Chains A and B, each alone.
Chain A
Amino acid sequence: DQQVKQNSPSLSVQEGRISILNCDYTNSMFDYFLWYKKYPAEGPTFLISISSIKDKNEDGRFTVFLNKSAKHLSLHIVPSQPGDSAVYFCAASAYSGAGSYQLTFGKGTKLSVIP
């Protein structure tokens, strides 16, 4: 049962254009959402997050949008750069009891930014 879904395994975008990565979730208890970027042979790197009390969070070229009614979030990268080429993971956090918050990851979307 996949609670966090990234339905696009890959995405190709021209340099300078907008990249939009999508993520859907099923667990209504998720209250904190994060995006991670991963280069080959490295661990995931935290990119940006959003709390469920917000619908938008912006950090430089990266903006995350949250639509709670649709259980959907997206990451916008504007403008896209070749260095943004990586696998992007969507993750969601929910309280799992006994003082624990469990982070659940999607399968990732491989973004390729073409020069």
Chain B
Amino acid sequence: EAGVAQSPRYKIIEKRQSVAFWCNPISGHATLYWYQQILGQGPKLLIQFQNNGVVDDSQLPKDRFSAERLKGVDSTLKIQPAKLEDSAVYLCASSFSLNTEAFFGQGTRLTVV
């Protein structure tokens, strides 16, 4: 079974630039999550989708972050404009349904300079 795929693996951008991350969840998984993991911290949920609908985006900084999951499969997370404090690993995860174990991708390490 293929796991959660994410790209790119690494990205370096200057502050105020924009960046986008892509995620392809495990086939058949209805729930998709985006997490932000800052160095030395545990992952923090940014947004959660159930199929193509948002069920929780309470911790997403909506002035600069956006995410979509068209057709209920792939998802993209965008940051525009980026700030230095956005430097982190962005993890995508998926689960079969709500409140079941989530499976993570390898993450995208973002460095904002």
Contact = CB atoms under 8 A, between A and B. Distances in A.
B56 A43 contact: no
Interface stretch (B11-19, B64-72, B73-81, B102-110): B102-110
Contact of A96 (B4, B56, B101): B56
Contacts of B48: 100, 102
Contact of B99 (A4, A93, A104, A106): A93
Main secondary structure of the interface of B (DSSP, over half): loop
The interface size bin for chain B is: 20 to 34
Contacts of A32: 99
B45 interface: yes
A105 B99 contact: no
A34 interface: yes
Contacts of A70: none
Interface of B: 4, 33, 40-45, 48, 50, 55-56, 58, 91, 93, 98-99, 101-107
